[in-house]
Amino acid sequence: MPNPHVNFKALWHGLLTGGVGLALCRRLLEEDGRIHLCIACRNVQKSEATRNLILAAHPAAQVSTVEVDLGNLAAVLRVARELRCRFQRLDFVYLNAGIMPNPHVNFKALWHGLLTGKLLHMLTTAEGVMTQTDRLNGDGLQEVFATNLFGHFILVRQLESLLCGNEKPSRLIWTSSSNARESAFSLSDYQHAKGQESYSSSKYATDLTSVVLNRKFNEQGLYSSVVCPGLVMSNMTYGILPVFLWKLLMPIMWLIRFFAKTYTLTPYNGAEAHVWLFKQKPEYLDALVKYHSCTSGLGKNYVEPRRMDVDEETAEEFYQKLLELEKQTLERYSDLLD
């Protein structure tokens, strides 16, 4: 158990090495070198590699690691138990893990967007451009839904004792997307088993979840926010097109940024909204706003709040479905529950 007299901040963070997660860790330490970072990856090697990269830049930093696959419920329950043993409270939980399996670009839709004058909108939101092929995971859940949302939801539920009732507010900060669209989401198919835009559906589900969590837990000192990192060149992004195409497109993308401020491009820029929220008082934030990382054509980073296109009644219905699914799926893992 942690020393009860030590006043530390433990931050949970699901990240991809070299992506927004690593950049966020470094930027948070630049803001406050006293924080205790607890980083999470899918395997021990990635966790340790990430920790070493952070310590190379910040040798005196307090950095610990845990291993978890957010798409595996047993792994989520085990790591929640470990965190409850190691920490007395969590001040910030950055929920950043995500997958986009087998992404495909719809070139026909891009051509149509060019002819109809909607190309810039499509390039900045990926609306109608990106499709994915999803599959069931070992828990019988759609893989994208399980990894991008449900695993995080179960983790938050399991860590309520560390997040609620503290002297200072605790924060959940979800990485959402400008691709989070209501048109890709359905309450009757909230795992998105029947469609081809599972990523967009999971991110819209993230927005809905955050809205309800604020309604349920603000009085207990837990606040939830969602951010969009913009278009960041990360491991996920590089999987969409062959590497040689990205090399050809990069000069064009830098030019597009003069017209599309969400083309943050680098992980450092993409973490702008995450870091900005780290410095805000949650009581004064709007629960219905998504905070977007933006970068000007000349390279200046800033945060732009945009009201989310969410229906609060739909959000409540979806939350109840998550609770029902939680009850159904956790019955088989009673040995991992306290």
Residue 8 clears pLDDT 50, i.e. is over it: no
Told to judge if 291 belongs to the known catalytic residues of this protein, a careful annotator would answer no
CA dihedral 269, 270, 275, 276 (to 10 degrees): 80
Q: What is the pLDDT of residues 48-95, one digit of tens each?
A: 888 999 999 999 999 999 999 999 999 999 999 999 999 999 999 999
Q: Provide mean pLDDT across the span 153-180.
A: 95
Distance of CA 112 to the CA centre of its chain: 31
Exposure b/e, 204-229, CB count within 10 A at least 16 = b: bbbbbbbbbbbeebeeebbbbbbbbb
Distance CA 53, CA 62 (A): 13
* DSSP helix/strand/coil, 34: coil
Reported as type and span, the H/E element at residue 62 is strand 62-67
Give residue 276's pLDDT.
98
Residue 13 clears pLDDT 50, i.e. is over it: no
Exposure b/e, 250-268, CB count within 10 A at least 16 = b: eeeeeebbeebbbbbbbbb
pTM, 2 dp = 0.86
CB 235 within 8 A of CB 99: no
Domains, the chain, in order of start with CATH, read: 9-336 (3.40.50.720)
Distance CA 167, CA 298 (A): 42
Give the contacts of 44 (CB within 8 A, at least 6 positions apart). 65, 67
**What does the block give as tokens for 69?**
């696959």
* DSSP helix/strand/coil, 36: strand
How many residues can be counted in the chain?
A: 338
CB 270 within 8 A of CB 20: yes
Give residue 15's pLDDT.
31
Residue 246 clears pLDDT 90, i.e. is over it: no
Give residue 14's pLDDT.
35
Catalytic residue, chosen from 190, 199, 263, 291, is 199
